[in-house]
Amino acid sequence: MVKVHFQKKLPSFTLAVDFEVDNHILAIVGPSGAGKTTVLQCLAGLQNPTQGDIWINGKTIFSSEQKINIPVRKRRIGYVFQDYALFPHMTIEKNVLYGKPKPAESTEASHKAIGVTGLLDILKIGHLRKRYPSQISGGEKQRVALARALMTEPELLLLDESLSALDPDTRALLQQELLKVQKQWQIPFILVTHDPREAEILGSQILRIDKGMQEILKPIEA
């Protein structure tokens, strides 16, 4: 369970969000510059809220009042960027292994922990392990980025317009793959998208942000 209640002062407005996400997909929609990516970055620790609190599975990872700000590496959050952010000089296998936690950081007996071979096979990219990012397609890069994020054994997965650059057929295929992966991992996914149809397909819950203000378009079913 992720609980988010914070404000972030931005140059043109103040972003204010208040929502909860259980083991389902929350889709965040809204116009460019509305604050959607800022929400993800505050969750990940790449930016800090001006005030408020963020909890993941009952643990406070940020609190302005209590002066708690857990470092990025210790937040157990996977992040799939829009441009995938793969290392061009590393093979696919090494890119995925880069996300593997150090032994001291790994959760004890995590049922979500999985070897790189199993993860590559689940995402149907095992045959690409020795290739480099320049040698694979956009859809394959998206799978690699997702594999690397899951390799961190996350308690929350963030996806920032991760499917936006793909052609329609590949995008539709990977939307279904994301649904399958979320069902298997059983952790909250928060997805930013400009595509209302994609939000409807993937989101059990849909949140619209415009000029920093949130509106729940699709509440989670009780």
Distances (CA, A) of 13 to 16, 50, 171, 213: 9, 12, 33, 9
Does the pLDDT of residue 222 top 70, yes or no?
no
Q: How far is CA 67 from CA 1, 8, 39, 70, in A?
A: 22, 16, 19, 10
Residue 39 backbone phi and psi in degrees, to 5 = -60, -50
Task: Compute the average pLDDT of residues 199-217.
Answer: 95
**Average model confidence (pLDDT) for the chain?**
91
Residue found by looking up tokens 């970055």 in the block: 41
220 pLDDT band, cuts 50/70/90, is confident
Which comes out higher in pLDDT, residue 220 or 120?
120
Contact of 55 with 3, CB cutoff 8 Å: yes
**Model pLDDT for residues 41-56, shown as the tens digit of each residue:** 999 999 999 999 999 9
142 burial via Cβ count (<10 Å: 0-12, 13-18, 19+): buried
Q: Name the pTM for this structure.
A: 0.91
pLDDT band at 218 (very low <50, low <70, confident <90, very high): confident
Q: Which domains does the chain have, with CATH numbers?
A: 1-76+155-221 (3.40.50.300), 82-154 (no CATH)
Look at residue 44 in the predicted model and tell me its pLDDT.
98
Contacting residues for 57 by C-beta, under 8 A, at least 6 apart:
1, 2, 155
Q: Can you give the pLDDT at residue 107? A: 52
* 3-state DSSP helix/strand/coil % of the chain, to nearest 5: 30, 25, 40
pLDDT at 65 over 60: yes
> CA 58, CA 42: separation in Å to the nearest integer?
17
Least Cα distance to 77 among 181, 178, 149 occurs for 149
In the chain, the amino acid numbered 14 is T
Percent of the chain with pLDDT over 70: 93
Query: Which position has the higher pLDDT, 115 or 1?
Result: 1
User: pLDDT tens for residues 147-181?
Assistant: 999 998 999 999 999 888 888 898 999 999 999 99
pLDDT digits (tens, 9 = 90+) for 93-134: 999 998 887 665 555 434 455 678 888 888 889 999 999 999
Tokens of 150: 């899951």
pLDDT of residue 150: 92
